[in-house]
Amino acid sequence: MSQFLDVAIETAREAGAILRHEFDRPKEISYKGEVDIVTESDRRSEALIVARLREHFPDHAIVAEEGGGGGVGAKCCWHVDPLDGTTNFAHAYPCFAVSIGLAEEGQPVAGVVFNPVSDEMFTAARGEGAYLNGKRIHVSPIETLAQSLVATGFPTHQRKRSANMNYYWEFTLRSHGVRRDGSAALDLCSVACGRFDAFWEFGLNSWDTAAGILLVQEAGGKVTDMNGEPYRLGGPQTLATNGRIHGEMQEVAAIAGRAAKGS
Ligand code: IPD
Ligand code: CA
Ligand code: CA
């Protein structure tokens, strides 16, 4: 596994350097949807990552957000978000990352999330623990939602009447607060290192989560859908917690789900 992780780390650092350099410059923005932004930096970062992965692992498939991947059907597949947090990046809000995850038959086995502004490299390999800049990390020891800081995100493609507003409301009433930082990959890393006690979101893609969910699991946390069913890469719901408040998160999610249906 270390060969995969070493290449992913080196590649994320290289792609991160592109993003860090371009962060201070004027951005060329175009729109994939009503508010779904893409910049030239997303594309440049992706081109570099895909080239490096192809060079090292020509037999592996690559699913990359901006469409640069290929090789469907291979046992090993890289899930690449070349810039997670594009809206933040475009607005000069320094919260974004490169996320590179490797899955074997659909199960994440290695993952790297790199924040080039804070210079934080989150890494994990299946069965080998989770690390931040080489130091072992663990989820928080918090036991109740009432003492928790939690996080969520809202997909750019489904703005109107998002059911997540109900979840946001219910979790805000029952916790220390709900953060919406704009990078799902970093949100997951924050659960892994204990900054957040839980994170949930609807409609994430495999490139947003492949690395981050492995980080949470390897840091001792739990990842399922909102009903506690096993998490499926690219599935419609993601609930990642420190494990201890997972049941409570599910209970409140059920309340919010009923409220969303009634509204
Ligand atoms: C987005 C971010 C955001 C989440 C959105 C994602 P992008 O990814 O992770 O936090 O709420 O659902 O699409 O578009 O910046 O790569
Ligand atoms: Ca993303
Ligand atoms: Ca992206």
The secondary structure element, H or E, covering residue 124 is strand 120-125
pTM: 0.97
* Range 104-109 contact pairs with CB under 8 angstroms and sequence separation of 24 or more: 104/75, 104/76, 105/75, 106/232, 106/233, 107/233, 108/210, 108/211, 108/213, 108/214, 108/233, 109/1, 109/4, 109/214
104 and 199 inside one domain? no
125 and 169 inside one domain? no
Does the pLDDT value for residue 158 go beyond 70?
A: no
Q: How many domains does the chain have?
A: 2
Could you tell me the distance, in angstroms and rounded to a whole number, from the CA of residue 73 to the centre of ligand 3?
Answer: 23
**Nearest residue to 114 (alpha-carbon basis) of 38, 48, 32:** 48
Ligand nearest to the CA of 185: 1
* Ligand 1 atom closest to residue 203's alpha carbon, by position in its atom list: 12
Q: Is the CB of 46 under 6 A from ligand 1?
A: no
Q: Is the CB of 22 under 6 A from ligand 1?
A: no
Are 9 and 112 within 8 A, CB to CB? yes
Q: What is the pLDDT of residues 161-214, one digit of tens each?
A: 778 999 999 999 999 999 999 999 999 999 999 999 999 999 999 999 999 999
* Ligand 1 atom closest to residue 85's alpha carbon, by position in its atom list: 15
Could you tell me the distance, in angstroms and rounded to a whole number, from the CA of residue 233 to the centre of ligand 2?
Answer: 14
Chosen domain end from 136, 157, 188 = 136
Q: What is the pLDDT of residues 39-80, one digit of tens each?
A: 999 999 999 999 999 999 999 999 999 998 888 778 999 999
Q: What is the CATH number of the domain that holds 243?
A: 3.40.190.80
Domain that holds residue 28: 2-136
Q: Is the CB of 183 under 6 A from ligand 1?
A: yes
Does the pLDDT value for residue 246 go beyond 80?
A: yes
What is the Cα–Cα distance from 148 to 104, expressed in whole angstroms?
A: 33
